[in-house]
Each structure stands twice: as C-alpha cells, then as structure tokens.
Amino acid sequence: MGERSGAGLVECAILDALGSLGARPGRGYRVNTRVLAVVEDRIGLAPRYAYEVLLDLARPWTMPLNLIDGQGNFGSRGNDPAANPPYTGSRLSPAGQVALAAERGDLAPVPIGPINGNVYAKGTRPPFRPQAIIDALRQIIQRPRVTGKDLIAIIGPPCFLNGCTITGDFAALAAGRPTTLRLQAHVTVSQDHRNVLIENFPPNANPDETAHALAGLAQARHWAQQHPELHRRTHLPLREIRDESSRGRDLLVCVPEPGTTAEQLRDQLMDVYGVYTTVPAALGRPLPTILRNWAKTDAAEDLLTSLAALEDAIHTQSAHD
C-alpha cells in the first residue's frame, strides 16, 4: 500500500493519474478512458481491473472517505451496472487531493488507510469514523503517553457511515485479533404500523437481490400442508414487497400478510441474510499500535498540519454532499 496514505497501490496509481491529468477539485472531469490509459502505462494494470477500483473510490456506499469525485453513471448498489469508461469521468475529491499530496511528499502522511479500511475490496480491515481517527492521532501527537484504552474509546467501533448497525467483538478487533462483524440494515415499522421499511443496507448487501430473496421466502410451498411446522418456520408472511428507492436512498417497503402484524414481520426480516450480512474483520495489529506508528512518521508539527488539511477536505466533501 502507499506508505504515506495507506491507500492501496492501485488506488495510489489512479490518484496519481488524475493528478497528472490536472483533474483536481473545482476543475473539469477527465474521461475515464484517459485515466485508465495512464494507469496502464504506469503500472501495467489492464483497464478492466483498474476501472473497478476507480468506481469504488467514487461510490458513496463503499468507504467513509471517497477519494474520487465521479461524473456519470457509476452504478448502483443493486444490479444497475456502471456505464463504460468512455461515458464516465473523474477528478480528485478534496480528500483524494490530500492523499495524493501526502504520497508525493508535499504533506506529511495522512491516515486514509486506517479510515477507509479495505472491506470494500473484500479485505478484512473495516473502516472507522474519519474524525475519530484524526482525533486519536492528535491525542498521540500531543499526549505521547495517552493509553491504548483511551485511544480505543476515542475511535469507537467500526463505522460504514451509511446507517447500518454494526455488532461484534470490538475489543478483539481493537486488540488485533480476527473476529466477525454483523452488519444490520435499518428495519423499522412505518408510522401507520401497516408496513415494514428496510433501508441503510450493509455496504456489502445488494438491495435488488435481497428483494428477490424475500419474495422467494414469501412464496407458498407445495409441501406446506404436509409439513405445516416446517412451513411456519421457513415461510415469510410477506404479502407484497415494493422497491421505493430513490437517488441516494435504497428503500424496500414490505407489506405483511393478513393476520401478521408489522412488528412480527419486522422481527422475521431481521434474520434474513441480505437484510443483515457478516464480514470477517482483522487489523493485523492492535489498533493503538497502528496509530502510534502513523504518529512516528514525521515531525509532530508537520503531522498536525496534514491532519488539519485532511479535516478541511472532509468538511468540504460533507458540505458538497
């Protein structure tokens, strides 16, 4: 990975390509065929593979801190694919520009890797809340003897910033031991108590496939009368499912069968895979150790400057979103 940002090697190559093409915040987008051609020329990675990484760097559901600002159809969390590279464009996001500056040595290192993790790329490092990582690093710089326990309290649990609920053995994760995280969509009963709403899907869930799976579980089985108890346990009392997603928001509306309350349906839906998912999680080393190593890389004043630059970039992106 990049030594000064923690971003992956391909990610760094894409950021460098955008920087060399002048695709910076506030400037024009560059057609992604040009970006991918530069990446292939520099590291030899074919466009088909590099494009998937580029898409992830811009998709808002993949990581807390997007490094690319995309233009055009970058796909959906469901089955809507991204447009081909000639029809999409990219430029550095403010955070991406800070990461590139760090990689080029124009800034002290910035903790992009610890913030974004790599779960989005099928890795095991989960993301954390950006401001929490920044605050913890500031504590290390300003109070070198701050305890690991205090740092873990500042950082808190992993955070995907999309509203899904995360449960698991956070103490094991922070101590550097492998564990499994459960990611749960937000499942609530509507205000009129007639329907169940599913939103804030886990980042590794596909709402379209989840809707299809729920519809399948609601179908009557030919053996239902012969095995009523088994049917009762496996059948989902779902009369109708509606996809009411809009731009930037995935929403499934579930209507219970007659005789089933919305609360009863909600409780069953929460145990359906797709409504929840699991991910293996491991940091490799204790989380405080990872951050202390970041704080040793450059002079304290330079590190504080780079953290302030990253913080400003985060605020700029939040205001834009």
| Domain boundaries defined on the chain | 9-133+280-320, 186-274
Above 90 in pLDDT, residue 100?
Answer: yes
pLDDT at 319: 76
DSSP for 76-98 reads -SSS-PPPPGGG-EEEE-HHHHH
pLDDT, average across residues 294-303:
86
Percentage of residues in the chain with pLDDT exceeding 90? 81
- Distance from C-alpha of 113 to C-alpha of 276, rounded to nearest angstrom: 25
**Spatial separation of the C-alpha atoms in residues 187 and 202, rounded to whole Å:** 12
Q: What is the pLDDT of residue 128?
A: 96
pLDDT at 225: 55
Question: 24, 98 in Cβ contact below 8 A?
Answer: no
Q: Is the pLDDT of residue 87 over 60?
A: yes
CA dist 84 to 36, 50, 236, Å? 12, 13, 39
Nearest alpha-carbon partner for 164 in 207, 118, 114 = 207
pLDDT for 258 equals: 93
With a cut of 60, say whether residue 266 has pLDDT above it. yes
pLDDT digits (tens, 9 = 90+) for 203-260: 999 999 999 999 988 886 655 555 555 556 667 899 999 999 887 789 999 999 999 9
What is d(CA 61, CA 58) in angstroms, rounded to the nearest whole number? 9
d(C-alpha 314, C-alpha 57), whole Å:
15
- pLDDT at residue 221 in the model: 61
Q: Mean pLDDT across the stretch 275-287?
A: 96
Confidence grade of residue 171 (pLDDT, cut at 50, 70, 90): very high
Asked if 317 contacts 66 with a C-beta cutoff of 8 angstroms, the reply is yes
Confidence (pLDDT) at 2: 65
Does pLDDT of 145 surpass 60?
A: yes
For position 219, what pLDDT does the model report?
A: 80
Report helix, strand or coil for 152: helix
Residue located via tokens 């004043």: 301
Sequence-ordered list of residues with C-beta below 8 angstroms from that of 5, at least 6 positions apart, any chain: 12, 99, 102, 103, 109, 110, 111, 112, 113
Same fold, 9-133+280-320 and 186-274: no
Which CATH class name applies to 186-274? alpha beta
Output the CATH code of domain 9-133+280-320.
3.90.199.10
* Residue whose token pair is 């955008």: 18
Averaged confidence pLDDT in the chain: 92
Position 308 confidence tier, pLDDT thresholds 50, 70, 90? very high
pLDDT in tens, 56-78: 999 988 999 999 999 999 998 88
- Decide which of 13 and 296 is more confident: 13
* Residue 279 pLDDT grade (very low, low, confident, very high; cuts 50, 70, 90): very high
The residues, ordered by sequence, that sit 6+ positions from 226 with a Cβ below 8 Å of its Cβ are none
Q: Is the pLDDT of residue 178 over 80?
A: yes
Q: Cβ atoms within 10 A of the Cβ of 79, count? A: 11
Helix axes 287-295 and 148-155, enclosed angle (nearest 10): 100
> pLDDT band at 162, cuts 50/70/90?
confident
pLDDT of residue 299: 86
